[in-house]
A and B are shown apart, each in its own frame.
Chain A
Amino acid sequence: MKAGTSPSLAVELCGVQLPTPLVLASGILGTEAELMARVARSGAGAVTAKSCSLESRAGHPNPTVLAWEHGLINAVGLANPGVEAEVEELVRTKELLRPLGAALVASVFADTVENFARVAARVAGAGPDLIEVNISCPNVHDEFGTPFAADAAAAAEVTAAVKDAVAGQAPVLVKLSPNVADIAAIARAVERAGADGITAINTLAGMVIDVHARRPILANRTGGLSGPAIRPLAVRCVYDLYRAVSIPIVGTGGVSSGRDAVEMIMAGATAVGVGSAVYDEGPETFRRIRDEMAALMDDLGYGRVQEMRGVAHQ
């Protein structure tokens, strides 16, 4: 790298150009167009809208999100306004993101393979740059049974159905769960079924009990762990996935600094999801992570993000 030029943070994810590799993870601040635009202005290269389903969902009662000593735990229960309202929000978001050069990721979930296809087809019409398929939410077992992400054949079936429904209108990312015995086997199955990329990982199932109340604090009792506590686990998953598949990976889990983002890319990620770190400084947390990343790349002698990708495998 020539002296005086700052590193470029631009990356390409499944053919989509991102000004920075930082992707707002789903379920965090993805509820409104203006809010997602604010996150993009502060340094996210892409933003993921809140997961939506065909029908609206109220989600679980409170408490739904808590900060514990080493991260967050949540069981919001996929609250969303339903796909029709979500499509309107996606269209508004896309308009606000266009001048910023940031990409929009729509996120979908459903109870059956057929409904995954229906909601994905509807969302594709809103013109998102990418579509993420959430087959791995840990907080809705009672309603949906075992998540599709826990079974390679089921994960592949959903992937194929969504790919067919989206019909090439946008690349499809499949979001995988760490709550499985062999995440690489699931990843290979969704890659064979046509996934364009993988987002890994979703939250880990966990629980926090109040000893005075003598019961779990979350109304749903169990919830998904995120934040600093899960980062080494996420890094290990991304490292394994990089060896298992050749499609790009959005490495997500506990990233809250530029160092953490670089670590995830060295493990093999093409882009880096950021979610719970928003807890630290609000939506403007992205600005700090982006600036730290550029400074660290400069220190390490990297001019472009892709030069770092997977170097930990050497």
Chain B
Amino acid sequence: VTDYFAELTSTRPKASLPRKARIVGLKDESPQVRTLVLDLSLEAEPGQFVMAWLPGVDEKPFSLVHAVPVVLTIARVGPFTAAVHTLGIGDRLWIRGPLGQGFTLPGSPIPDPRPSILLVGGGYGVAPLHFLAERALAAGWAVSMVIGARTAIDVVFAERFAVLGARVVVITEDGSLGQRGVATDAARRLLGEADYQGLYACGPEPMLAAVEELARDHSLPAQLSYERYMRCGFGVCGSCVQAGWLVCRDGPVRHVKRET
């Protein structure tokens, strides 16, 4: 256990006081999910997050969907996100970050044949994987993207991943779009068809647990992005801890090594 924590990457957070930003673009991804484009750019890695503050309302963590400029995709799940959904073009919100440790790519790819990584997103969890897919494709990786959702209307970003050049597989629990089943069903099939160098996932925790098991079965490293209630966002208050691991600072991306 000692070694596990000692090996974690930890750098001084780039946390600052909240910086003001204006909404310059809006897009509804589904009835519950809206994307905001801000007039702010950050130097950030895929998988990192920011704290978004609405004065007088609350401050909550959101993974970056894009950093230059900052893009956030926010599902309406409570009072704060409902307030965010009432904002229009030109309205302000405040951003603190980037925070946490993001995804890393497994070294440099060999040019021929192009090695692949497999990304698995559940629900609105697909959004931060878009940032990773963009970086991975630019670095020369082939990317397969599984988008899992309850039903057709909850499938977001499918076209956007395809436009980037990723192979996209959609799977819904009721079969209303794409294959029928859960995200890990589709991921398991893909792992049976081709070689992948790594698994990346963002979504509900039961899905993350299933992806971790899948990685173990296929002796692959996995990187899993977690979501937690947070206060400081930089590893001081201890609000988001799980078994000694600070989701905000050691994560939100957890690196699971290849089992040998």
Contacts and interface: CB of A to CB of B under 8 A. Distances in A.
A282 B17 contact: no
Interface string A267-289: 00000000110111111100000
A15 interface: no
Given A62-B231, A67-B13, A208-B17, A213 B238 contact: no
Interface stretch (A30-38, A118-126, A231-239): A30-38
A210 B234 CA distance: 20
Interface in B220-251: 231-239, 241, 243-244, 246, 249-250
Most chain B Cβ neighbours within 10 Å, of A30, A215, A219, A276? A219
Interface string B48-59: 000101011011
Contacts of A208: 17
A37 B239 CA distance: 16
Chain B contact patch, size range:
35 or more
Q: What is the interface of chain B mostly: helix, strand, loop, or mixed?
A: loop
B55 A213 contact: yes
Contact of A31 (B8, B92, B234, B238): B238
A215 B236 contact: no
B5 A283 contact: yes
A42 B8 CA distance: 13
B10 A281 contact: yes
A215 B94 contact: no
A245 interface: no
Contacts of B18: 63, 66, 210, 217
Contact of B5 (A29, A66, A279, A284): A284
Contacts of B250: 282
A170 B104 CA distance: 48
A30 B55 contact: no
A67 B244 contact: no
B110 interface: no
A61 interface: yes
A284 B59 contact: no
Given A62-B58, A62-B60, A68-B17, A35 B244 contact: yes
B241 A76 contact: no
Interface in A59-89: 61-68, 72, 74, 76, 79
Given A65-B232, A65-B236, A278-B236, A37 B10 contact: no
B4 to A, nearest CB: 10
Contacts of A27: 237
Contacts of A278: 235-236
Given A208-B17, A212-B92, A217-B17, A282 B235 contact: yes
A254 to B, nearest CB: 14
A185 interface: no
B158 interface: no
Interface in B46-72: 51, 53, 55-56, 58-60
A282 B249 contact: yes
Interface string A200-238: 000000001010110101010000000000000000000
B86 interface: no
Contacts of A280: 12
Most chain B Cβ neighbours within 10 Å, of A27, A215, A282? A282
A276 B96 CA distance: 18
Interface string B1-25: 0100110101011011110100000
A158 B195 CA distance: 67
Nearest to A282: B10
Contacts of B16: 67
Contacts of B232: 64-66, 72, 74
A278 to B, nearest CB: 5
B95 to A, nearest CB: 12
Nearest to B10: A282
Contacts of A163: none
B59 to A, nearest CB: 4
A28 interface: yes
A215 B54 CA distance: 12
A50 interface: yes
B5 A38 contact: yes
Contacts of A304: none
11 contacts: A31-B238, A34-B243, A38-B5, A64-B232, A76-B231, A79-B239, A210-B18, A213-B55, A279-B15, A284-B5, A284-B10
Interface of B: 2, 5-6, 8, 10, 12-13, 15-18, 20, 51, 53, 55-56, 58-60, 92, 94, 96, 231-239, 241, 243-244, 246, 249-250
Instruction: For the complex of A and B, list the 10 residue pairs with the smallest distance between their C-beta atoms, beginning with the closest.
Output: A34-B244, A31-B238, A65-B232, A62-B59, A282-B10, A213-B55, A63-B59, A29-B238, A212-B20, A67-B15
Given A219-B58, A219-B59, 4 more contacts: A28-B236, A210-B18, A212-B92, A279-B235
